[in-house]
Structure 1
Amino acid sequence: MTNARCNLTAEPLELISCLSHISTIILGVAKNDIQRVCRSTSSIAECASGHLSECVGQQIGQGAFREIMDLLTNCCPDRNSPDCSIKDSKLQDQRCFAADSFVTLSNGKQKSIANLQLGDSLLAYDDKTKKILSTHLLTMLDFQPHRFALFKQMTTSTGRQLSLSSSHLVPTDKHGYIMAKNIRIGMNVYVMNNNGVLISERVSNVSDVVKQGYIAPLTEEGTLIVNNVAASCYATINNHYVAHVVLAPMRWWYSLFGISNKSNEVIGIHWFPKILYEITTFFIP
């Protein structure tokens, strides 16, 4: 069985079976049922490994999203009503890190975020212990090296600077993960010192800057160190932990099929988070 774009499995019913798990994930996110999301994540991964190629997944996922959009429109035509729990999509806010940023590789060397290769070993941090660790780059959630965008640029007391989109999540010592647009002077963020240890440091300035290019790496850990500042890999969804769970199927995908060693060839937002972000931002404010 084939279509104009992809090679499909010879068993169409198996494709329907894989899709059935997507609706369970959406329901789990809507009800904040993390266990249900995790179980469905595993089911999708097992199904995909036997029956779906990445191309097929993209085509089917987009079709499923259109169906969900129609359902939501019929159930809640007035998105501005206080009784409507469905939120307008925030995908257009997706930008992430400025392309002139640098990441630290596991060997201690720095590398331009725009020149990262899939599979590169990077420094990240354990979200619970705040200890530095190594992780691998899985893919780019968004890759736009030439477009201009507006960024929030925060500067710490020792001069470390990080430019990222206003909806990107940053860990703070007292407020947890918050979007960059909500970072204020006097708050403490986490930075990596010269000894390779994560410490908290005061934000001394926050400004708006326009730069060319924005890049959104996704690591296995869901975190990374950019310009020696700790940051989440996620934006748009105002909850690092929910975003990490939502993208679990994507991490499963790469654990099952491996990480391509090709350079970043796709310009724009990766199809998988694009679909999931579109779906979940209807439910998550």
Structure 2
Amino acid sequence: MQDQRCFAADSLVTLSNGKQKSIADLKSGDKLLAYDDKTKSVLSTHLLTMLDFQPHQFAFFKQVTTSTGRQLSLSTSHLIPTDQHGYVMAKNIRIGMNIYAMNDNGILISETVSNVSDVIKQGYIAPLTEEGTIIVNNVAASCYATINSHYTAHAVLAPMRWWYSLFGISQKSNEAIGIHWFPKMLYEIASILMPSIIQT
């Protein structure tokens, strides 16, 4: 099993036009829905690239289920916004906590976690959006994992987002299998200089 920091490859992402698309089929430049943590609402953003793209490897995931049956499978250190505890790693999500989900009208609402289980699935994908958040399986989530603060991770990856904003988005940026070189380099540096912010 692989050490991963991503969503399960069978996940679906909602595009800005309301259609759903497999997370494994996303292309850089796709316009999709994300979570605005200032207004607790849905907004539109662009996919910049893949932080990690491993469609064939098997991995362990935490599967979070809400009271309405929505399910999200993501790595244990992946961050999810909650209504009372801020961004929480999936491994620390507990039954009874409230997370944000998008209803059939495209409105973000609070839903109670009814179950958290361990699953094994094939494939894991880590998309990076301009906003740093994303709606996956109609559940709001951060694009970040491993670093224990969404806001720290968002700040650390700012140069990467600026690069894509200044020089454009490559349609081929998500064709490479593996971890993008920039977050890989940052992870290695942080592991040495700031190990306390790294969790798996």
TM-score where L is the length of structure 2? 0.94
Query: Are the aligned partners of 1:153 and 1:163 in contact in 2 as well (CA < 8 Å)?
Result: yes
Cα RMSD of the aligned pairs, angstroms, is 1.1
Q: Is the 8 A contact 2:3 2:59 kept in 1?
A: no
Does residue 194 of the first structure (1) align with residue 104 of the second (2)? yes
The residue that corresponds to 1:140 in the other structure is: 50
Change (3 A) 1:93 1:176: farther
Which structure's CA Rg is the greater one? Answer: 1
| Cα distance per residue 1:173-195 (max 9 Å; x no partner) | 11110100000001000000111
Using the alignment, how far apart are the partners of 1:144 and 1:254 within structure 2? 22
In the alignment, structure 2 segments of 5+ residues that lack a partner are none
1:133-177: CA deviation from partner (whole Å, max 9, x where unpaired): 100000000000000000000100000000000000000011110
| Contact in 1 for aligned 2:62/2:74 (Cα 8 Å) | yes
Deviations 1:169-224 (A, max 9, x none): 00001111010000000100000011111111000000000000000000000000
Of 128, 134, 158, 1:218 maps to 128
Q: Is the 8 A contact 1:171 1:230 kept in 2?
A: yes
Q: Which residue of 1 aligns with 2:184?
A: 274
Letter in structure 2 aligned against 1:112: S
State the Cα deviation string for residues 18-51 of structure 1 (Å, max 9, x = none). Answer: xxxxxxxxxxxxxxxxxxxxxxxxxxxxxxxxxx
Structure 1 residues 22-33: aligned runs within 5 Å = none
In 2, distance between residues paired with 1:95 and 1:240? 13
Tell me, in whole angstroms, the C-alpha distance in 2 between the residues paired with 1:271 and 1:182: 28
Q: Describe how 1:238-253 pairs up with structure 2 within 5 A.
A: 238-253=148-163
Per-residue Cα deviation, 1:254-277 (whole angstroms, up to 9, x for no partner):
011100123622100000011112
Corresponding residue number in structure 1 for 2:65 = 155
- Whether the 8 Å CA contact 2:4–2:124 is kept in 1: the answer is no
TM-score (norm 1): 0.67
Residue pairs, 1:45-64, within 5 angstroms: none
Aligned to 1:230, the other structure's residue is in SS state: strand
Bigger relative CO (Cα 8 Å, ≥ 6 apart)? 2
Match of 1:127 among 21, 33, 37: 37
The structure whose residues are more often helix, as a share, is 1
CA distance in 2, matches of 1:220, 1:165: 21
Shift of 1:284: 4.5
- For the residues of structure 2 that align with 1:93 and 1:240, how far apart are their CA atoms? 20
1:94·1:235 contact (CA, 8 Å) conserved in 2? no
Q: How many residues are treated as equivalent by the alignment?
A: 194
CA distance in 2, matches of 1:263, 1:247: 16
SS at match of 1:281: helix
Question: Which residue does 2:175 correspond to in 1?
Answer: 265
